[in-house]
């Protein structure tokens, strides 16, 4: 029996593992970002303090550096915006950006309306789902092909034991049938003539 289903299940399992890796790698940064965003509830407008982009430090990305006035104390604060993903952007000094900061700890600041981590997770979930569906479809197809009862193939007539082709054999069969028919007719005619002679 064909073992195509084994290759199908291997492809399916590989697709599942790839899906799990993609979703996990995208979900963890989003989960961490949500926990930070939960504390950053105070909206304000900050100004970019220095030209630059994000820099990675472990699981976090820091930058750009911004300045803003803390609402509760009136103190000017200069901190790095924190994120859990790289949004691949550079900022110029003097630009204004909308941010949220933690009213209990103004050193915690995130960009307002930044959905990069969430969008990455959603994209990974969609792509992972498609890969899993394709892997499952491949497995089902190979399983059907493995256990499907094949239709018997029509055997092609080559040559018989006498070395005749199909046309030659068919011609001989027709000739024999005609010969037998003629013999039967001659026999019937002879019997009729004999009966008339005896009468």
Taking only the tens place, the pLDDT of each residue in 115-165 is 999 999 999 999 999 999 999 998 888 888 877 766 666 555 566 666 677
Q: How many domains does the chain have?
A: 2
pTM, to two decimals: 0.65
1 confidence band (pLDDT: 50, 70, 90): very low
What pLDDT does residue 151 have? 64
92 and 189 inside one domain:
no
Q: Are residues 38 and 108 in the same domain?
A: yes
Q: Does residue 108 sit in the same domain as residue 187?
A: no
Domain presence at residue 134: no
| Domain match, 10 and 105 both | yes
Q: Diameter of the chain by CA atoms?
A: 147
What residues contact 54, with CB distance under 8 A and at least 6 apart? 61, 62, 63, 64, 83, 86, 87, 89
The answer to the question of residue 165 being in a domain is: yes
Q: Do residue 107 and residue 168 come from a single domain?
A: no
Same-domain check for residues 113 and 164? no
Range of the domain at 93: 4-119
Closest CA to 83 of 125, 122, 53: 53
Residues 91 and 24 in one domain: yes
Same domain, yes or no, for 40 and 101?
A: yes
For residue range 100-114, list pLDDT tens digits in order: 999 999 999 999 989
Over residues 41-58, mean pLDDT: 94
């Amino acid at each position: 029996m064909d073992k195509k289903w084994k290759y199908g299940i291997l492809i399916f399992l590989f697709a599942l593992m790839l899906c799990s890796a993609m979703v996990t790698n995208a979900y963890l940064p989003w989960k961490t970002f949500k926990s930070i965003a939960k504390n950053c509830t105070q909206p304000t407008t900050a100004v970019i303090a220095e030209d630059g982009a994000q820099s990675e430090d472990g699981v976090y990305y820091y930058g750009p550096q911004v300045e803003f006035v803390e609402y509760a104390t009136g103190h000017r604060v200069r901190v790095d915006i924190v994120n859990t993903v790289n949004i691949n952007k550079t900022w110029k000094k003097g630009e204004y950006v909308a941010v949220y900061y933690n009213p209990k700890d103004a050193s915690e600041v995130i960009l307002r309306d930044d959905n990069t981590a969430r969008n990455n997770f959603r994209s990974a979930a969609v792509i992972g789902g498609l890969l899993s569906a394709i892997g499952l479809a491949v497995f089902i197809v190979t399983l059907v092909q493995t256990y499907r009862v094949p239709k018997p193939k029509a055997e092609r007539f080559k040559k018989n034991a006498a070395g005749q082709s199909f046309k030659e054999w068919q011609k001989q069969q027709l000739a024999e049938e005609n010969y037998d028919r003629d013999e039967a007719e001659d026999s019937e005619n002879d019997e009729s003539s004999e009966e008339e002679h005896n009468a």
